[in-house]
Amino acid sequence: MAFYLPRELPGTNKKMTSLRPWRLCGKISILDRSLIALDLSSVESLYRNKAILIPGGAGFIGSRLAKRLSDLGAAVTVVDPLDPYCGGNLFNLRSCRRHIHLVREKIEMFVQKNGLKEFSFIFNCVGLSDHNLGFVRPDIDYRINCQSGIALVQKLAEGRLPIKILTIGSRSQYGKGPLNIVESDSQQPLDIQSVHKAILEHYHDAYGKLFGLDFLYFRLTNTYGPGQRMRGSGIGFVGEIIRDSLDKGEVTIYGSLDRVKDIVYVDDVVEALLYGGMIKKNSNPVFNVGGRPHQVGELIECIQKKIPGINVKFQSFPEHIKKIDAGDAVLNSKKLFLETGWSPGTSLEEGISRMIDYYRAHRRHYW
C-alpha cells in the first residue's frame, strides 16, 4: 500500500513540499502528520551563503550534493583525493566546478592543515563500497570507511565546534535483519565494510555524548543513478546490471526475479541529506534513508524499455556473495519522514531512464 501525504498540514496553512508515495511505514495518523514542520523554502534558505565541507565530494553522492548546495548559494569546499579504490571522478563536478573549492587530498591532511572552524555544515560522503575488498585488504577499508571519519569527529570534539556533521552509513550495518528494518533494530554487519561503518557510527555517538557533538548518521539503502562508478568492483547492484546491459546486452541474476531490492535514486538521497540539516540536535541522531522495494523483475523490465533485447541469465549465488547478501529486507524511513516530511519521490522507471541516458552520453568518462 502507498500512503499519500496531504497538501496542507492539519490545522495550519503550511503547504507540503511534495505529494509522494511512501511505503512500508505503517499507518500515518493525523497526529503524525501534524508533526511534520519543514518546508522546502526553509531548507533551501538554510544553506545560502553558508560554508559547507564535503569530504568525498567528487564521488557519486557527494558530487550531486555539491552541485545542489552550490545551486542554493552555499560556499562549497570539496575535499577528495580521488582514491582509486573509491568513486571520485572530476567529471562528476563538471557542472559546478567553477563555483566550488576543490582540494585534492585526504580529509585527514586537510583537517590537520586547515581546521574546521569556518564551516557551518560537514557532509561526510567518504566511502568505499566494495564489500569484498574489505576481506582482502581490511586496512584499506578501515582507512577509508572509518579512519577518515574519526579524524573529523576528533577535530570537532577538540575544539567543541558547533558544526553539524552529517555522515553516510549503510543499510548493510544491519546484516540480514528483519524484513522491515527500523533504526532500533540491532546492527549485525556481515562484512568488513559494514563493520567499519558501524564502528564510525559508534565513534560519533561516543564523542557526541562526551563533547556535545551535533551529528546525524544516515544509513542508506542501495543507491543508484548518474555519476555512479562503472569500473572495477563495488559498483552496486543496480550499477552492475546497467553496466552489463550497456556493455554486453546481457545480465546475470543470482537467485530469481522475485527477489526484492530496496533501492533509492541518488537525488532523493541528496534531498534527505539536505533536510537532515534542519533536524535539531537530539538524542536519537540515526536515520534510515530507504527507497522503494522492487522485485528484480521490475528492474529488468524498466531496463528493457531502454535497452530492448537484453538477455537475462540466472545463476545460483556464489558462496562468498550468499554469505553477505542482506536478503529481501528494506529500510523503514518513517522516522525521517516524521521529522522532515522526506520520502523518496523518483519512480524506478524514471530513475533507470535517466541513468541509462546519462551513461550513453558520457560513457567515456566512466568506463
- Domains of the chain, residue spans: 22-224+265-290+326-346
Q: What is the mean pLDDT of residues 126-131?
A: 88
Residue 257 has pLDDT above 80, yes or no: yes
CA angle centred on 152, ends 83 and 61, rounded to 5°: 50
The sheet carrying 100-103 orders its strands as 100-103, 75-79, 51-55, 121-124, 164-170, 215-220, 286-289
Going from the C-alpha of 364 to that of each of 72, 196, 367, the distances in angstroms are: 30, 33, 6
Share of the chain above pLDDT 70, in %: 89
Residue 8 has pLDDT above 70, yes or no: no
Which of the pair, 16 or 199, is modelled with greater confidence?
Answer: 199
Which residues of the chain form beta strands (DSSP E)? 2-4, 21-23, 51-55, 75-79, 100-103, 121-124, 164-170, 180-181, 215-220, 222-224, 250-254, 260-265, 286-289, 292-295, 311-315, 330-331
Q: What is the mean pLDDT of residues 63-91?
A: 96
| All cell numbers assigned to 137 | 585488504
What local confidence, expressed as pLDDT, does residue 6 receive? 31
Other C-beta atoms lying within 10 Å of the C-beta of residue 166 = 23
Mean per-residue pLDDT of the chain: 88
> Per-residue confidence at 35, pLDDT binned at 50, 70, 90?
very low
What local confidence, expressed as pLDDT, does residue 40 receive? 65
Residue 325 has pLDDT above 80, yes or no: no
| All cell numbers assigned to 100 | 566550488
CA angle centred on 123, ends 118 and 129, rounded to 5°: 145
Q: What is the mean pLDDT of residues 289-317?
A: 93
Third-level CATH fold of 22-224+265-290+326-346: Rossmann fold (3.40.50)
Of 84-88, 93-97, 291-295, 326-330, the least confident:
326-330
What local confidence, expressed as pLDDT, does residue 18 receive? 34
- The full length of the chain comes to 367
> Per-residue confidence at 286, pLDDT binned at 50, 70, 90?
very high
Other C-beta atoms lying within 10 Å of the C-beta of residue 162 = 11
What local confidence, expressed as pLDDT, does residue 112 receive? 95
Share of the chain above pLDDT 90, in %: 77
Which of the pair, 232 or 292, is modelled with greater confidence?
Answer: 292
pTM: 0.88
What local confidence, expressed as pLDDT, does residue 130 receive? 85
- CA dist 47 and 76 (Å) reads 10
Q: How far is CA 191 from the centre of its chain?
A: 18
Q: What is the mean pLDDT of residues 1-21?
A: 34
Residue 17 has pLDDT above 90, yes or no: no
What local confidence, expressed as pLDDT, does residue 32 receive? 46
What local confidence, expressed as pLDDT, does residue 26 receive? 45
- CA dist 335 and 330 (Å) reads 14
- CA dist 133 and 128 (Å) reads 9
> Per-residue confidence at 25, pLDDT binned at 50, 70, 90?
very low
